[in-house]
Amino acid sequence: MKKSLVILTFILLILPLVSAVEFDMKTEFNQGETLMAKVSGNFLDPILNNNIFFYRGHVRISMDSYVTKINNTFYIYASLIGKNQNNYSIVLKNARYYIEGGQISEEDITKNFSITKNISDFSIDPGFIVTKDNFFIEVQNLQDSEITIQIKTNPETSQGFFASLFGGGGGGENSITLKAGEIKKINFELNNITQPTLEIIELSTDNLIYELPVYIFTEETESEKKQRDFKFEPSELNISIPTNSNLTKIIYLYNTGQETLENISLSISDLLNPYVSLSIEEIKELEANSSIKIELYFFSDDEEKVIEGQIKAQLQELYSYSAVSLNFLKDYVPSDGEDEISTTKTCSEMNGTICKEDEKCDEETIYAKDSVCCLKTCKKIKKSQVGKIIGWMIVIAVLGFLVWFFKKKYRGVKREIDLFKPNQKQPGFSNQYENKIQKNQRPPSVRTFIRKIEKPVTKTVEKPIIKIVEKPVIREVEKKVFIEKPKEKIPKYVASTNTKKYHKSSCRLSKLIKERYKVSKNDITSFKKQGYKPCKICLKG
């Protein structure tokens, strides 16, 4: 009886650990096959793409994966095209979930699998469907000969679900034939969907069966469900920095959900804390489909080392992480363009816009996979009117000068008169001489017009003598008096109420403490009593 009770107790204790998370996936795949995994459990945080990692043996490898949540199950798919025969594993990191006794665990969830030397018959893209409209999938023949793929749907549950398959009738069984290496698109039409529906489409050959989950949601469920999610971009930072130097980098936090998020807190893991500071510690508001720029300040000491940690954004039950790897190197010289902000995603995937030649982004740009991406709004560049204004002013000035020139220089010049030419009026002539000229038609002698000029009489006039007496000038001179102010005493120690750490006032990290969190003291005793921790850089001892 006691033995049975012990066994029952052991089963009850171990069962929650075993059933806390279920990882349903094949353990063996062919080369080029589409990997599909289903993960279910009581997760506090949704599984995101940056939680999924792939390894070949113990070496991390790059593999594009996609994840979605349908009902209470997370579906993960990835293409194995280009992956050779070997032992692999998929690891879920930084995912919080409940285990025995209501405890929360953050341990990594690992599932091992292997890739054989055989080549898969076909591959599928995408590996799952979440939609409210008609959709399509693409299948590729990976063999060197022709294959036929059977496509099955459940005719009982999918009545009206697939109204047309390749232009054919309703649910049931269809097939498609592919030549060697050929890719074909399979179209599916929906009809009379009134409530959310989950269907499984089975694609199979003699050697391979793939079950494609298709989740159809209606307009009502879409409007009622406002997703709350955000993520860092880039999700991983590998930074090399010379010793005894500093560096500034920029990352972005994107609101990928459908509602505005408020009061998102940002934090740094303990290992990175002495070497990294954030420009902001809390995001008051982040609208849907928008992003915010976060500056990271890195500081290195005099030792060569590698430090790994993460930056975390948290909003209640939502989390997002950006992995950071710091490498301190002596005599390290960064290459050109190393400080550019870049990402492996396209501009459309980041909900951005590629501005035209006559447009300019009203915010800072990021280097996307396809081009320079504007994360805000592209505005047309207004052409300057200064050139036109200056041109018209020059034209008006030239016209004004010409008008003045003709008025003053030409119209104001008197015409010279020749005394020997008839029919010309001489200035100062009397009427008597004019009449004589008209009668005789002969100009009078020049001597006739010579008048006697009286000799001027010069008189001597005594000029009064004026004496200049200098008047004394009285100038007022201001005398400046300098009063030496007493020197302000600089406190020896500074602490942050936010990080609960105290530093020397000369410490470089103390300069980054915001005024609302800064506390200054000449003695560290009070800081120690309040539970503050010493800085690991300036107070190592």
Based on the domain organization, do 253 and 294 belong to the same domain?
yes
- Residue 412 reports pLDDT greater than 70: no
225, 254, 272 — which closes off a domain?
225
Q: Which has the higher per-residue pLDDT, 56 or 453?
A: 56
- Sign, CA dihedral 40-45-49-52, equals negative
Q: Per-residue DSSP letters for 124-184?
A: EESSSEEESS-EEEEEEE-SSS-EEEEEE--TTTTTTT-SEETT--SSSEEEEEE-TT-EE
In the DSSP assignment, the letter for residue 419 is T
Residues 2 and 112 in one domain: yes
Query: Who wins on pLDDT, 193 or 441?
Result: 193
What are the tens digits of pLDDT across the range 140-197? 888 889 999 888 876 555 444 454 444 444 445 688 898 888 888 888 887 777 777 7
Residues 277 and 365 in one domain: no
Q: Name the more confident of 313 and 480.
A: 313
154, amino acid identity: N
Select from 175, 203, 225 the last residue of a domain. Answer: 225
Say which range, 60-74, 286-300, 322-336, 405-419, has the weakest mean pLDDT. Answer: 405-419
Q: What percent of the chain has pLDDT over 70?
A: 70
167 and 97 in one domain?
no
Phi/psi at 232 (5° precision): -85, 145
Same domain assignment for residues 289 and 322: yes
**Does the residue 55 lie in any domain?**
yes
| Token pair of 357 as six digits | 């030649």
> What CATH number is given to the structural domain containing 297?
2.60.40.10
pLDDT value, residue 435? 53
Residue 452 maps to a domain: no
Q: Check whether residue 262 and residue 216 sit in a common domain.
A: no
Q: Average pLDDT for residues 70-90, to the nearest whole number?
A: 88
Count of structural domains within the chain = 5
pLDDT score for 266 = 92
Q: What is the pLDDT of residue 18?
A: 43
Show which of 119, 147, 166 is a domain's final residue: 119
- For residue 241, being part of any structural domain is answered with yes
Report field, pTM of the whole predicted structure over 0.85: no
Q: Which domain holds residue 296?
A: 230-332
Q: What is the CATH number of the domain that holds 165?
A: 2.60.40.2030
Say if CB 426 and CB 436 are below 8 A apart: no
Residue 135, beta-bridge partner list: 188
Average pLDDT over residues 100-123: 84
Q: Is residue 68 part of a domain?
A: yes
* pLDDT attached to residue 415: 54
For residue 419, tell me if it sits in a domain: no
Residues 186 and 252 in one domain: no
Asked if residue 352 belongs to a domain, the reply is: yes
Terminal alpha carbon distance of the chain:
61
Q: Do 126 and 207 share a domain, yes or no?
A: yes
Residues 203 and 129 in one domain: yes
Which pLDDT score, from 0 to 100, does residue 1 have? 47
Tens of pLDDT, residues 456-476? 666 666 666 666 666 666 666
pLDDT at position 408, please?
74
Q: Are residues 298 and 314 in the same domain?
A: yes
Above 60 in pLDDT, residue 301? yes
Q: Is residue 512 part of a domain?
A: yes
pLDDT of residue 113: 92
Residue 100 is predicted with a pLDDT of 67
Q: Do 301 and 328 reside in the same domain of the chain?
A: yes
Q: List, for residues 324-343, the tens digit of each pLDDT value.
A: 888 898 888 876 555 544 45
Q: Are residues 219 and 275 in the same domain?
A: no
User: In whole numbers, what is the pLDDT of the chain averaged over residues?
Assistant: 77
Is residue 427 a part of any domain in this protein?
no
Check residue 54 and give its pLDDT: 92
